Structure 1
Amino acid sequence: MAETAKVAYLGPEASFSHAAALKLFPNAKIVPEKSFQDIFRIVEEGKAEFGVVPIENSTEGSVNVNLDLLAEGELKIVKETSMKIEHQLVSKAGSLKEVKIVFSHPQGLAQCRQWLQKNLPEVELSESSSTAKAAESVAGIPNSAAISSLLAARKFGLNILAENIQDNPNNQTRFVVISKKAAKPSGKVKTSILFSTKHKPGALFDALKALKDFGVNMTKIESRPSKKDAWHYVFFVDFEGSQESENVKKALEELGRHCDSLKILGSFEVI
Protein backbone atom coordinates (compact mmCIF):
# COMPACT_ATOMS: atom_id res chain seq x y z
CA MET A 1 0.00 0.00 0.00
CA ALA A 2 1.35 3.39 -0.95
CA GLU A 3 3.00 5.24 1.91
CA THR A 4 1.78 8.55 0.46
CA ALA A 5 -1.87 7.47 0.69
CA LYS A 6 -4.51 9.40 2.59
CA VAL A 7 -6.06 7.21 5.29
CA ALA A 8 -9.24 8.00 7.24
CA TYR A 9 -10.00 6.80 10.77
CA LEU A 10 -12.52 7.51 13.54
CA GLY A 11 -11.14 10.52 15.39
CA PRO A 12 -10.09 12.55 17.13
CA GLU A 13 -6.41 11.70 17.59
CA ALA A 14 -5.58 9.10 20.26
CA SER A 15 -8.57 6.85 19.52
CA PHE A 16 -7.98 3.12 19.21
CA SER A 17 -8.77 3.48 15.50
CA HIS A 18 -5.99 6.08 15.29
CA ALA A 19 -3.55 3.59 16.82
CA ALA A 20 -4.66 0.91 14.34
CA ALA A 21 -4.23 3.33 11.41
CA LEU A 22 -0.71 4.20 12.55
CA LYS A 23 0.13 0.50 12.85
CA LEU A 24 -1.12 -0.23 9.34
CA PHE A 25 0.11 3.00 7.69
CA PRO A 26 3.08 4.33 9.69
CA ASN A 27 4.15 6.85 7.03
CA ALA A 28 0.85 7.78 5.38
CA LYS A 29 -1.28 10.90 5.84
CA ILE A 30 -3.69 9.90 8.61
CA VAL A 31 -6.88 12.00 8.84
CA PRO A 32 -9.62 11.84 11.51
CA GLU A 33 -13.33 11.67 10.68
CA LYS A 34 -16.34 12.19 12.93
CA SER A 35 -18.19 8.95 12.16
CA PHE A 36 -17.86 5.58 10.48
CA GLN A 37 -20.33 6.77 7.86
CA ASP A 38 -17.99 9.68 7.05
CA ILE A 39 -15.07 7.27 6.63
CA PHE A 40 -16.98 5.11 4.14
CA ARG A 41 -18.25 8.18 2.30
CA ILE A 42 -14.89 9.85 1.71
CA VAL A 43 -13.31 6.57 0.59
CA GLU A 44 -16.23 5.96 -1.80
CA GLU A 45 -15.83 9.52 -3.13
CA GLY A 46 -12.10 9.04 -3.66
CA LYS A 47 -11.15 11.74 -1.14
CA ALA A 48 -9.15 9.13 0.79
CA GLU A 49 -7.56 5.98 -0.62
CA PHE A 50 -8.17 3.92 2.50
CA GLY A 51 -10.25 3.83 5.65
CA VAL A 52 -9.51 1.96 8.88
CA VAL A 53 -12.55 0.73 10.85
CA PRO A 54 -13.14 -1.76 13.68
CA ILE A 55 -15.10 -4.78 12.57
CA GLU A 56 -15.26 -7.08 15.61
CA ASN A 57 -14.35 -7.13 19.29
CA SER A 58 -13.49 -10.33 21.13
CA THR A 59 -15.74 -9.38 24.07
CA GLU A 60 -18.72 -7.58 22.53
CA GLY A 61 -18.79 -9.08 19.04
CA SER A 62 -19.20 -7.34 15.70
CA VAL A 63 -19.40 -3.60 15.13
CA ASN A 64 -22.74 -3.84 13.37
CA VAL A 65 -22.75 -0.38 11.82
CA ASN A 66 -19.63 -1.26 9.84
CA LEU A 67 -21.03 -4.61 8.72
CA ASP A 68 -24.10 -2.77 7.45
CA LEU A 69 -21.99 -0.15 5.67
CA LEU A 70 -20.01 -2.90 3.93
CA ALA A 71 -23.27 -4.57 2.88
CA GLU A 72 -24.77 -1.34 1.53
CA GLY A 73 -21.74 -0.06 -0.41
CA GLU A 74 -19.16 -1.28 -2.89
CA LEU A 75 -15.95 -0.87 -0.90
CA LYS A 76 -13.59 -3.80 -0.48
CA ILE A 77 -11.72 -5.10 2.54
CA VAL A 78 -8.01 -5.03 1.65
CA LYS A 79 -6.20 -5.75 4.95
CA GLU A 80 -6.88 -6.81 8.54
CA THR A 81 -5.07 -6.51 11.85
CA SER A 82 -5.90 -7.17 15.50
CA MET A 83 -5.00 -5.03 18.48
CA LYS A 84 -5.20 -5.59 22.21
CA ILE A 85 -7.57 -3.02 23.71
CA GLU A 86 -6.81 -1.80 27.23
CA HIS A 87 -9.24 0.72 28.72
CA GLN A 88 -8.37 3.33 31.32
CA LEU A 89 -10.74 5.46 33.39
CA VAL A 90 -9.40 9.00 32.90
CA SER A 91 -10.50 12.32 34.34
CA LYS A 92 -9.53 15.76 35.63
CA ALA A 93 -10.86 14.54 38.99
CA GLY A 94 -8.53 13.19 41.62
CA SER A 95 -10.54 10.17 42.77
CA LEU A 96 -13.44 7.88 41.85
CA LYS A 97 -15.60 9.52 44.54
CA GLU A 98 -15.71 12.73 42.52
CA VAL A 99 -17.04 11.08 39.33
CA LYS A 100 -20.74 11.58 38.57
CA ILE A 101 -20.82 10.70 34.84
CA VAL A 102 -18.71 8.47 32.57
CA PHE A 103 -18.38 9.03 28.82
CA SER A 104 -17.17 6.57 26.19
CA HIS A 105 -17.96 4.96 22.86
CA PRO A 106 -20.76 2.35 23.23
CA GLN A 107 -18.21 -0.43 22.71
CA GLY A 108 -15.97 1.01 25.44
CA LEU A 109 -18.87 1.15 27.90
CA ALA A 110 -19.91 -2.39 27.01
CA GLN A 111 -16.40 -3.80 27.32
CA CYS A 112 -16.14 -2.38 30.87
CA ARG A 113 -19.71 -3.10 31.98
CA GLN A 114 -18.86 -5.35 34.94
CA TRP A 115 -16.17 -3.02 36.26
CA LEU A 116 -18.55 -0.07 36.10
CA GLN A 117 -21.32 -1.96 37.89
CA LYS A 118 -18.92 -2.99 40.65
CA ASN A 119 -17.02 0.27 41.13
CA LEU A 120 -19.37 3.04 39.93
CA PRO A 121 -22.89 1.56 40.20
CA GLU A 122 -24.67 4.90 40.68
CA VAL A 123 -22.82 6.87 38.01
CA GLU A 124 -24.55 8.06 34.83
CA LEU A 125 -23.19 6.58 31.58
CA SER A 126 -23.14 8.64 28.38
CA GLU A 127 -22.20 7.56 24.84
CA SER A 128 -19.61 9.40 22.74
CA SER A 129 -18.66 9.03 19.08
CA SER A 130 -15.25 7.58 20.04
CA THR A 131 -13.15 6.89 23.14
CA ALA A 132 -10.84 9.76 22.23
CA LYS A 133 -13.79 12.14 21.83
CA ALA A 134 -14.92 11.08 25.30
CA ALA A 135 -11.50 11.93 26.74
CA GLU A 136 -11.48 15.27 24.93
CA SER A 137 -14.94 16.09 26.31
CA VAL A 138 -14.26 15.32 29.97
CA ALA A 139 -11.24 17.60 29.98
CA GLY A 140 -13.76 20.46 30.27
CA ILE A 141 -16.58 18.85 32.29
CA PRO A 142 -16.30 18.80 36.12
CA ASN A 143 -16.92 15.51 37.96
CA SER A 144 -16.77 13.52 34.73
CA ALA A 145 -14.57 10.67 33.51
CA ALA A 146 -13.98 8.83 30.27
CA ILE A 147 -13.14 5.28 29.30
CA SER A 148 -10.36 5.63 26.76
CA SER A 149 -6.73 4.87 26.00
CA LEU A 150 -3.54 5.79 27.83
CA LEU A 151 -2.58 7.79 24.75
CA ALA A 152 -5.78 9.86 25.03
CA ALA A 153 -5.15 10.52 28.72
CA ARG A 154 -1.72 11.90 27.90
CA LYS A 155 -2.95 13.96 24.96
CA PHE A 156 -5.73 15.68 26.90
CA GLY A 157 -3.87 16.02 30.22
CA LEU A 158 -6.09 13.69 32.24
CA ASN A 159 -5.46 11.70 35.40
CA ILE A 160 -5.72 7.92 35.30
CA LEU A 161 -8.18 6.95 38.01
CA ALA A 162 -8.16 3.22 37.20
CA GLU A 163 -6.05 1.14 34.81
CA ASN A 164 -7.02 -1.74 32.54
CA ILE A 165 -10.70 -1.78 33.49
CA GLN A 166 -11.86 -3.94 30.55
CA ASP A 167 -13.80 -6.98 31.78
CA ASN A 168 -11.84 -9.37 29.56
CA PRO A 169 -8.05 -9.20 30.08
CA ASN A 170 -7.61 -10.62 26.56
CA ASN A 171 -9.83 -7.94 25.02
CA GLN A 172 -8.96 -7.50 21.33
CA THR A 173 -10.46 -5.75 18.33
CA ARG A 174 -10.12 -6.63 14.66
CA PHE A 175 -9.67 -3.64 12.37
CA VAL A 176 -10.01 -3.77 8.58
CA VAL A 177 -8.81 -1.48 5.85
CA ILE A 178 -11.43 -0.52 3.26
CA SER A 179 -10.75 0.74 -0.26
CA LYS A 180 -12.36 1.13 -3.68
CA LYS A 181 -9.71 -1.15 -5.19
CA ALA A 182 -9.45 -4.84 -4.35
CA ALA A 183 -6.17 -6.08 -2.91
CA LYS A 184 -3.67 -8.57 -4.31
CA PRO A 185 -2.84 -10.19 -0.99
CA SER A 186 0.08 -12.39 0.01
CA GLY A 187 1.07 -14.11 3.21
CA LYS A 188 -1.78 -15.13 5.51
CA VAL A 189 -4.93 -14.46 3.49
CA LYS A 190 -8.61 -14.45 4.37
CA THR A 191 -11.73 -13.77 2.31
CA SER A 192 -14.99 -12.19 3.45
CA ILE A 193 -18.29 -12.74 1.68
CA LEU A 194 -21.91 -11.71 2.16
CA PHE A 195 -24.83 -13.77 0.92
CA SER A 196 -28.54 -14.45 1.36
CA THR A 197 -30.47 -17.67 0.80
CA LYS A 198 -34.00 -18.67 -0.10
CA HIS A 199 -36.55 -19.38 2.65
CA LYS A 200 -36.56 -23.16 2.45
CA PRO A 201 -35.39 -26.02 4.67
CA GLY A 202 -31.64 -26.60 4.58
CA ALA A 203 -30.83 -23.55 2.44
CA LEU A 204 -28.03 -22.31 4.70
CA PHE A 205 -26.67 -25.82 5.15
CA ASP A 206 -26.57 -26.36 1.38
CA ALA A 207 -24.70 -23.09 0.87
CA LEU A 208 -22.10 -23.71 3.59
CA LYS A 209 -21.58 -27.33 2.57
CA ALA A 210 -19.76 -26.01 -0.51
CA LEU A 211 -16.97 -24.73 1.73
CA LYS A 212 -16.54 -28.13 3.36
CA ASP A 213 -16.70 -29.99 0.07
CA PHE A 214 -13.80 -27.96 -1.37
CA GLY A 215 -11.66 -27.87 1.77
CA VAL A 216 -12.26 -24.22 2.68
CA ASN A 217 -11.94 -23.45 6.41
CA MET A 218 -14.63 -21.05 7.66
CA THR A 219 -13.45 -18.81 10.52
CA LYS A 220 -16.62 -16.78 11.18
CA ILE A 221 -20.32 -16.63 10.36
CA GLU A 222 -22.81 -13.99 11.43
CA SER A 223 -26.30 -13.00 10.39
CA ARG A 224 -27.69 -9.47 10.04
CA PRO A 225 -31.16 -8.24 9.05
CA SER A 226 -31.27 -7.59 5.31
CA LYS A 227 -33.18 -4.32 5.90
CA LYS A 228 -35.15 -5.10 2.76
CA ASP A 229 -37.77 -7.55 4.00
CA ALA A 230 -38.88 -8.23 7.56
CA TRP A 231 -37.25 -11.33 9.08
CA HIS A 232 -35.00 -11.81 6.09
CA TYR A 233 -31.30 -12.11 6.83
CA VAL A 234 -27.93 -11.87 5.15
CA PHE A 235 -24.90 -13.88 6.26
CA PHE A 236 -21.36 -12.60 6.67
CA VAL A 237 -18.76 -15.35 6.36
CA ASP A 238 -14.97 -15.24 6.68
CA PHE A 239 -12.76 -18.10 5.56
CA GLU A 240 -9.11 -18.86 5.00
CA GLY A 241 -7.65 -18.47 1.52
CA SER A 242 -7.91 -16.19 -1.50
CA GLN A 243 -10.78 -15.92 -3.94
CA GLU A 244 -8.17 -16.56 -6.66
CA SER A 245 -7.35 -20.04 -5.30
CA GLU A 246 -8.84 -22.85 -7.36
CA ASN A 247 -10.58 -24.56 -4.45
CA VAL A 248 -12.06 -21.24 -3.28
CA LYS A 249 -13.27 -20.43 -6.80
CA LYS A 250 -15.03 -23.80 -7.00
CA ALA A 251 -16.49 -23.40 -3.48
CA LEU A 252 -17.87 -19.94 -4.29
CA GLU A 253 -19.33 -21.16 -7.56
CA GLU A 254 -21.14 -23.99 -5.78
CA LEU A 255 -22.18 -21.77 -2.85
CA GLY A 256 -23.63 -19.26 -5.30
CA ARG A 257 -26.00 -21.89 -6.69
CA HIS A 258 -27.78 -21.94 -3.34
CA CYS A 259 -27.96 -18.17 -2.83
CA ASP A 260 -30.32 -15.37 -3.76
CA SER A 261 -27.32 -13.03 -3.66
CA LEU A 262 -23.57 -13.36 -3.19
CA LYS A 263 -21.11 -10.51 -2.68
CA ILE A 264 -17.36 -10.87 -2.22
CA LEU A 265 -16.21 -8.24 0.26
CA GLY A 266 -12.57 -8.95 -0.46
CA SER A 267 -9.55 -11.22 -0.11
CA PHE A 268 -6.93 -9.63 2.12
CA GLU A 269 -3.75 -10.12 4.10
CA VAL A 270 -3.99 -10.58 7.87
CA ILE A 271 -1.10 -8.99 9.75
Structure 2
Amino acid sequence: MAGNRERSMICFAGPIGSSDHRVIELFGFKDFDPLPMPSVEEVIFTVSTTPGLLGVLPIENSTEGELTLTLDRLIFDVDDAFIVGEAVLAEEIWGFSINGEASVHTAISHSMILDLCADFIRHRGLNVRHAVSTKAACDEVAGTRDPGLMALAPPSVGSQAGLNPIETQVAQVSELRTRYALIANNLPAPSGSDRTMLAIVPRYDAVGALSEIAGQFKSHDVNMTSILSRPLAGERDVHCFVVVADGHAHTEPVRSLLRSLLRAGHQVKLMGCYPRWTAKEVVTPSTQLPRGVLAYEEISDSAQQ
Protein backbone atom coordinates (compact mmCIF):
# COMPACT_ATOMS: atom_id res chain seq x y z
CA MET A 1 0.00 0.00 0.00
CA ALA A 2 3.00 2.29 -0.38
CA GLY A 3 3.50 5.06 -2.90
CA ASN A 4 1.71 8.27 -3.78
CA ARG A 5 -1.97 8.30 -2.90
CA GLU A 6 -4.98 10.49 -3.27
CA ARG A 7 -6.18 12.19 -0.12
CA SER A 8 -7.82 9.68 2.24
CA MET A 9 -9.52 9.73 5.62
CA ILE A 10 -7.71 7.46 8.08
CA CYS A 11 -8.85 6.72 11.62
CA PHE A 12 -6.66 5.56 14.51
CA ALA A 13 -6.87 5.15 18.27
CA GLY A 14 -5.27 7.93 20.25
CA PRO A 15 -4.56 11.65 19.90
CA ILE A 16 -2.94 13.50 17.02
CA GLY A 17 0.82 13.05 17.28
CA SER A 18 0.65 9.60 18.89
CA SER A 19 2.54 6.66 17.41
CA ASP A 20 -0.68 5.39 15.80
CA HIS A 21 -0.87 8.74 14.00
CA ARG A 22 2.84 8.97 13.12
CA VAL A 23 2.91 5.54 11.47
CA ILE A 24 0.41 6.54 8.76
CA GLU A 25 3.11 8.08 6.56
CA LEU A 26 4.91 4.72 6.48
CA PHE A 27 1.96 3.36 4.50
CA GLY A 28 2.68 5.93 1.79
CA PHE A 29 0.10 8.53 2.80
CA LYS A 30 1.56 12.04 2.57
CA ASP A 31 -1.72 13.93 2.38
CA PHE A 32 -4.59 12.57 4.45
CA ASP A 33 -7.35 13.57 6.84
CA PRO A 34 -6.59 12.11 10.30
CA LEU A 35 -9.56 10.91 12.32
CA PRO A 36 -8.55 10.17 15.94
CA MET A 37 -10.81 7.81 17.87
CA PRO A 38 -11.08 6.78 21.53
CA SER A 39 -10.33 3.06 21.12
CA VAL A 40 -9.19 0.26 18.83
CA GLU A 41 -12.70 -1.18 18.98
CA GLU A 42 -14.12 2.08 17.65
CA VAL A 43 -11.61 2.10 14.79
CA ILE A 44 -12.52 -1.44 13.73
CA PHE A 45 -16.28 -0.85 13.98
CA THR A 46 -16.13 2.44 12.06
CA VAL A 47 -14.03 1.03 9.21
CA SER A 48 -16.26 -2.05 8.93
CA THR A 49 -19.39 0.10 8.60
CA THR A 50 -18.02 2.97 6.48
CA PRO A 51 -17.15 2.21 2.84
CA GLY A 52 -13.91 3.84 1.73
CA LEU A 53 -12.66 4.62 5.24
CA LEU A 54 -9.22 3.36 6.30
CA GLY A 55 -7.95 2.56 9.78
CA VAL A 56 -4.61 1.92 11.48
CA LEU A 57 -4.18 -0.65 14.28
CA PRO A 58 -1.16 -1.88 16.26
CA ILE A 59 -1.01 -5.69 16.07
CA GLU A 60 2.47 -6.62 17.36
CA ASN A 61 5.36 -5.06 19.24
CA SER A 62 8.83 -6.03 20.46
CA THR A 63 7.91 -6.42 24.11
CA GLU A 64 4.42 -7.94 24.11
CA GLY A 65 4.44 -9.89 20.85
CA GLU A 66 1.11 -10.23 19.07
CA LEU A 67 -1.54 -7.90 20.48
CA THR A 68 -4.22 -10.57 20.80
CA LEU A 69 -7.00 -8.24 21.92
CA THR A 70 -6.82 -6.41 18.59
CA LEU A 71 -6.51 -9.62 16.58
CA ASP A 72 -9.46 -11.19 18.42
CA ARG A 73 -11.70 -8.28 17.45
CA LEU A 74 -10.70 -8.62 13.81
CA ILE A 75 -11.30 -12.38 13.93
CA PHE A 76 -14.54 -12.62 15.85
CA ASP A 77 -16.30 -9.26 15.85
CA VAL A 78 -16.35 -8.06 12.21
CA ASP A 79 -16.74 -9.46 8.72
CA ASP A 80 -16.16 -6.32 6.66
CA ALA A 81 -12.71 -5.16 7.77
CA PHE A 82 -9.60 -6.65 6.14
CA ILE A 83 -5.90 -6.09 6.72
CA VAL A 84 -4.65 -4.47 3.50
CA GLY A 85 -1.23 -3.17 4.56
CA GLU A 86 1.50 -3.57 7.17
CA ALA A 87 4.25 -1.28 8.42
CA VAL A 88 6.71 -1.37 11.32
CA LEU A 89 7.34 1.84 13.26
CA ALA A 90 10.82 1.73 14.84
CA GLU A 91 11.73 4.50 17.29
CA GLU A 92 14.32 5.09 19.99
CA ILE A 93 13.27 6.49 23.36
CA TRP A 94 15.12 9.49 24.82
CA GLY A 95 14.72 11.63 27.90
CA PHE A 96 13.78 15.29 27.35
CA SER A 97 13.52 18.30 29.64
CA ILE A 98 12.76 21.97 29.22
CA ASN A 99 16.33 23.22 29.63
CA GLY A 100 18.47 20.18 28.82
CA GLU A 101 19.70 19.74 32.39
CA ALA A 102 19.78 16.35 34.06
CA SER A 103 18.53 17.51 37.49
CA VAL A 104 15.06 15.99 37.15
CA HIS A 105 12.87 14.24 39.69
CA THR A 106 9.90 12.93 37.68
CA ALA A 107 9.62 10.95 34.45
CA ILE A 108 6.45 11.30 32.36
CA SER A 109 5.35 9.05 29.52
CA HIS A 110 2.89 6.45 28.28
CA SER A 111 2.63 3.42 30.59
CA MET A 112 4.33 1.09 28.08
CA ILE A 113 7.29 3.45 27.77
CA LEU A 114 7.58 3.76 31.55
CA ASP A 115 7.74 -0.05 31.77
CA LEU A 116 10.48 -0.18 29.12
CA CYS A 117 12.46 2.44 31.05
CA ALA A 118 11.90 0.89 34.50
CA ASP A 119 15.60 0.16 35.13
CA PHE A 120 16.63 3.70 34.19
CA ILE A 121 13.87 5.21 36.35
CA ARG A 122 14.82 3.05 39.33
CA HIS A 123 18.54 3.77 38.95
CA ARG A 124 17.89 7.53 38.86
CA GLY A 125 15.38 7.37 41.73
CA LEU A 126 12.72 9.15 39.67
CA ASN A 127 9.04 9.49 40.38
CA VAL A 128 6.72 8.59 37.50
CA ARG A 129 3.66 10.20 36.00
CA HIS A 130 1.47 8.60 33.33
CA ALA A 131 0.42 10.30 30.10
CA VAL A 132 -1.94 9.15 27.37
CA SER A 133 0.87 9.33 24.79
CA THR A 134 4.49 10.35 24.43
CA LYS A 135 3.34 13.52 22.70
CA ALA A 136 1.11 14.37 25.68
CA ALA A 137 4.09 13.81 27.98
CA CYS A 138 6.27 16.19 25.97
CA ASP A 139 3.48 18.79 25.79
CA GLU A 140 3.11 18.63 29.58
CA VAL A 141 6.82 19.16 30.17
CA ALA A 142 6.90 22.02 27.66
CA GLY A 143 3.74 23.61 29.05
CA THR A 144 4.58 23.51 32.76
CA ARG A 145 8.14 24.83 32.20
CA ASP A 146 9.19 22.74 35.22
CA PRO A 147 12.92 21.83 34.88
CA GLY A 148 12.37 18.87 37.21
CA LEU A 149 10.20 17.00 34.70
CA MET A 150 11.54 14.59 32.09
CA ALA A 151 9.48 13.33 29.16
CA LEU A 152 10.40 9.90 27.80
CA ALA A 153 9.63 9.93 24.09
CA PRO A 154 10.95 9.29 20.57
CA PRO A 155 13.46 11.93 19.38
CA SER A 156 11.09 13.37 16.78
CA VAL A 157 8.33 13.87 19.34
CA GLY A 158 10.59 15.59 21.87
CA SER A 159 12.13 17.91 19.32
CA GLN A 160 8.74 18.90 17.88
CA ALA A 161 7.68 19.95 21.39
CA GLY A 162 10.73 22.22 21.64
CA LEU A 163 12.40 20.15 24.37
CA ASN A 164 16.07 19.40 24.83
CA PRO A 165 17.48 15.86 25.08
CA ILE A 166 19.29 14.98 28.28
CA GLU A 167 19.44 11.16 28.06
CA THR A 168 19.66 8.93 24.99
CA GLN A 169 19.99 5.55 26.75
CA VAL A 170 16.83 5.19 28.82
CA ALA A 171 14.99 2.12 27.51
CA GLN A 172 15.81 -1.56 27.91
CA VAL A 173 15.62 -2.00 24.12
CA SER A 174 17.54 -0.02 21.52
CA GLU A 175 14.33 0.60 19.55
CA LEU A 176 10.66 0.17 20.26
CA ARG A 177 9.24 -1.56 17.19
CA THR A 178 5.52 -1.90 16.56
CA ARG A 179 3.83 -3.58 13.62
CA TYR A 180 0.72 -1.78 12.40
CA ALA A 181 -2.05 -3.04 10.17
CA LEU A 182 -3.91 -0.86 7.70
CA ILE A 183 -7.54 -2.01 7.50
CA ALA A 184 -10.19 -1.37 4.86
CA ASN A 185 -13.40 -2.84 3.40
CA ASN A 186 -11.83 -4.40 0.30
CA LEU A 187 -8.70 -6.39 -0.43
CA PRO A 188 -6.00 -4.88 -2.65
CA ALA A 189 -4.91 -6.51 -5.88
CA PRO A 190 -1.80 -8.73 -5.72
CA SER A 191 1.46 -6.77 -5.68
CA GLY A 192 3.78 -9.65 -6.46
CA SER A 193 5.19 -9.79 -2.93
CA ASP A 194 2.31 -10.29 -0.52
CA ARG A 195 1.26 -11.87 2.72
CA THR A 196 -2.08 -13.45 3.61
CA MET A 197 -3.49 -13.71 7.14
CA LEU A 198 -5.98 -16.48 7.93
CA ALA A 199 -7.98 -17.61 10.95
CA ILE A 200 -8.37 -21.40 10.82
CA VAL A 201 -10.55 -23.57 13.07
CA PRO A 202 -9.58 -27.23 12.55
CA ARG A 203 -12.31 -29.75 11.73
CA TYR A 204 -11.40 -31.61 14.91
CA ASP A 205 -9.38 -30.75 18.00
CA ALA A 206 -7.12 -33.68 18.80
CA VAL A 207 -3.57 -34.88 18.35
CA GLY A 208 -2.54 -34.26 14.76
CA ALA A 209 -5.00 -31.45 13.95
CA LEU A 210 -2.32 -28.77 13.65
CA SER A 211 -0.03 -31.17 11.85
CA GLU A 212 -2.76 -31.82 9.27
CA ILE A 213 -3.19 -28.09 8.63
CA ALA A 214 0.57 -27.54 8.42
CA GLY A 215 0.75 -30.45 5.99
CA GLN A 216 -1.67 -28.65 3.69
CA PHE A 217 0.64 -25.63 3.61
CA LYS A 218 3.61 -27.87 2.83
CA SER A 219 1.86 -29.83 0.09
CA HIS A 220 0.84 -26.58 -1.63
CA ASP A 221 4.31 -25.06 -1.21
CA VAL A 222 3.00 -22.10 0.82
CA ASN A 223 5.44 -20.71 3.38
CA MET A 224 3.88 -20.20 6.81
CA THR A 225 5.71 -17.25 8.46
CA SER A 226 3.87 -17.14 11.81
CA ILE A 227 1.17 -18.96 13.77
CA LEU A 228 -0.79 -18.01 16.89
CA SER A 229 -3.23 -20.21 18.81
CA ARG A 230 -6.39 -18.72 20.33
CA PRO A 231 -8.67 -20.99 22.46
CA LEU A 232 -12.35 -20.31 21.77
CA ALA A 233 -14.47 -19.07 24.68
CA GLY A 234 -17.27 -21.46 25.58
CA GLU A 235 -15.84 -24.22 23.41
CA ARG A 236 -13.90 -26.84 25.35
CA ASP A 237 -10.61 -27.78 23.69
CA VAL A 238 -11.40 -25.91 20.47
CA HIS A 239 -8.73 -23.60 19.08
CA CYS A 240 -8.49 -21.05 16.32
CA PHE A 241 -5.11 -20.73 14.63
CA VAL A 242 -4.10 -17.35 13.22
CA VAL A 243 -1.65 -17.98 10.39
CA VAL A 244 0.37 -15.56 8.26
CA ALA A 245 1.71 -16.97 5.01
CA ASP A 246 3.55 -15.73 1.96
CA GLY A 247 1.42 -15.05 -1.11
CA HIS A 248 -1.97 -13.54 -1.98
CA ALA A 249 -5.31 -15.33 -1.56
CA HIS A 250 -6.32 -14.46 -5.13
CA THR A 251 -3.26 -16.07 -6.71
CA GLU A 252 -1.65 -19.50 -6.77
CA PRO A 253 -0.60 -21.39 -4.75
CA VAL A 254 -2.51 -19.75 -1.86
CA ARG A 255 -5.82 -19.94 -3.73
CA SER A 256 -5.49 -23.72 -4.11
CA LEU A 257 -4.47 -24.04 -0.47
CA LEU A 258 -7.64 -22.29 0.69
CA ARG A 259 -9.81 -24.54 -1.44
CA SER A 260 -8.05 -27.61 -0.05
CA LEU A 261 -8.47 -26.50 3.57
CA LEU A 262 -12.20 -25.93 3.02
CA ARG A 263 -12.65 -29.29 1.26
CA ALA A 264 -10.98 -30.99 4.21
CA GLY A 265 -13.62 -29.53 6.54
CA HIS A 266 -11.60 -26.80 8.23
CA GLN A 267 -13.25 -23.42 8.84
CA VAL A 268 -11.24 -20.59 7.30
CA LYS A 269 -11.65 -16.82 7.64
CA LEU A 270 -9.63 -14.58 5.33
CA MET A 271 -8.38 -11.75 7.53
CA GLY A 272 -6.38 -9.89 4.94
CA CYS A 273 -3.90 -9.75 2.07
CA TYR A 274 -1.25 -7.06 1.91
CA PRO A 275 2.14 -6.15 0.42
CA ARG A 276 4.93 -7.59 2.49
CA TRP A 277 6.86 -5.12 4.66
CA THR A 278 10.53 -5.20 3.63
CA ALA A 279 12.19 -2.82 6.13
CA LYS A 280 12.86 -3.38 9.85
CA GLU A 281 10.90 -6.21 11.46
CA VAL A 282 9.53 -6.61 14.97
CA VAL A 283 12.05 -8.67 16.97
CA THR A 284 12.39 -9.89 20.55
CA PRO A 285 14.08 -7.60 23.11
CA SER A 286 16.92 -10.12 23.49
CA THR A 287 19.67 -11.13 21.07
CA GLN A 288 20.43 -14.28 23.10
CA LEU A 289 19.02 -17.78 22.78
CA PRO A 290 16.76 -18.88 25.68
CA ARG A 291 18.72 -20.12 28.68
CA GLY A 292 18.82 -23.87 29.00
CA VAL A 293 18.70 -24.64 25.27
CA LEU A 294 19.83 -28.22 24.79
CA ALA A 295 21.97 -29.45 21.94
CA TYR A 296 20.84 -32.62 20.17
CA GLU A 297 23.90 -34.49 21.49
CA GLU A 298 22.96 -33.60 25.07
CA ILE A 299 19.44 -34.98 24.58
CA SER A 300 20.83 -38.20 23.10
CA ASP A 301 23.33 -38.64 25.94
CA SER A 302 20.68 -38.15 28.64
CA ALA A 303 18.35 -40.61 26.93
CA GLN A 304 21.04 -43.31 26.97
CA GLN A 305 21.81 -42.92 30.69
Same fold (TM over 0.5): yes
Distance 2:236 2:129 in 1: 32
What amino acid is the match of 1:194? Answer: A
**Is 2:47 aligned against 1:65?**
no
**How far off its partner does 1:35 sit?**
2.3
Equivalent residue for 1:84? 90
2:138 to 116, 135, 140: 135
Counterpart in the other structure of 2:30: 26
Q: For residues 77-124 of structure 1, what are the alpha-carbon distances to aligned partners after superposition, in whole Å with 9 as ceiling and x for unaligned?
A: 011122322122334486555333543143x3444444445x346644
Structure 1 residues 99 and 228: CA distance shift in structure 2, 3 A: farther
1:149 aligns with 2:154: yes
* RMSD of aligned Cα (Å): 2.9
Deviation at 1:60, TM superposition (A): 2.9
2:253 match: secondary structure: helix
Aligned with 1:98: secondary structure?
Answer: coil
Q: Which residue of 2 aligns with 1:223?
A: 229
CA separation of 1:13 and 1:151: change in aligned 2, threshold 3 A: farther
Q: Report the counterpart of residue 10 of structure 1 in structure 2.
A: 13
Do the aligned partners of 1:60 and 1:110 also contact (CA within 8 Å) in 2? no
Are 2:18 and 2:135, in contact at CA under 8 Å, matched by a contact in 1?
Answer: yes
Q: TM-score scaled by structure 1?
A: 0.83
Larger displacement relative to structure 2 (201-210 or 97-106): 97-106
Equivalenced residues, count: 268
- What's the CA shift for 1:125? 6.2
Q: Indicate if the aligned counterparts of 1:91 and 1:161 stay in contact, CA closer than 8 A.
A: yes
Q: Distance in 2 between matches of 1:226 and 1:131?
A: 35
The structure-2 alpha-carbon separation of the partners of 1:176 and 1:17, relative to structure 1 and needing over 3 Å to count, comes to: same
- The one-letter amino acid of 1:21's match is I
Code of the residue aligned with 1:12 in structure 2: it is P
Q: Is 1:195 aligned with 2:204?
A: no
Specify the structure having the higher radius of gyration (Cα). 2
Gaps in structure 2 of 5+ consecutive residues: 278-305
Which residue identity is paired with 1:43?
Answer: V
1:21, CA displacement in angstroms?
0.4
Greater CA drift, 165-174 or 244-253 = 165-174
Q: 1:6 to 1:18 in 2, by over 3 A?
A: same
Q: Percent identity?
A: 26
Change (3 A) 1:246 1:7: same
Cα drift, residue 225 of structure 1: 3.9
Deviation at 1:228, TM superposition (A): 4.1
Summarize the Cα distance change of 1:114–1:210 in structure 2 as closer, same or farther, 3 Å threshold: farther
1:105-157 deviations in whole A, cap 9, x for unaligned? Answer: 43x3444444445x34664464x543334434555576554432223223434
Mark the runs of 5 or more structure 1 residues left unpaired by the alignment. none
Cα distance in 1 for partners of 2:260, 2:121 equals 48
